Amino acid sequence: MSIGKFASNLILTTAKSNTEILAEVKNQFPEAKTTMACIAWYKSDLRKKGLIASKRAPALTREEKIQQLKDQLEELEAEE
């Protein structure tokens, strides 16, 4: 199993932190030059593939954006 597959598997099947995943990788592959940035990249790649949830809030619909702007306008007008 490759380092990438090993790390990705840990990301997908555990609730371990990036630090814990890196420690597991280093334990399994002592000669690996894997860094925290590598673990973050694996997570990002899994997000892009839709295999783990995005950290971002879901995008607003057009109607939700319009309502949000109307609400902001009302707040500004009330401040005058």
Find the mean pLDDT for residues 8-15.
94
What's the mean per-residue pLDDT of the chain? 91
pLDDT at 26 over 80: yes
pLDDT tens for each residue of 41-60: 999 999 999 898 876 666 77
Find the mean pLDDT for residues 29-37.
96
Find the mean pLDDT for residues 13-34.
96
For the chain, give the DSSP string.
Answer: --HHHHHHHHHHH----HHHHHHHHHHH-TT----HHHHHHHHHHHHHTTSS--SSPPPPPHHHHHHHHHHHHHHHHHH-
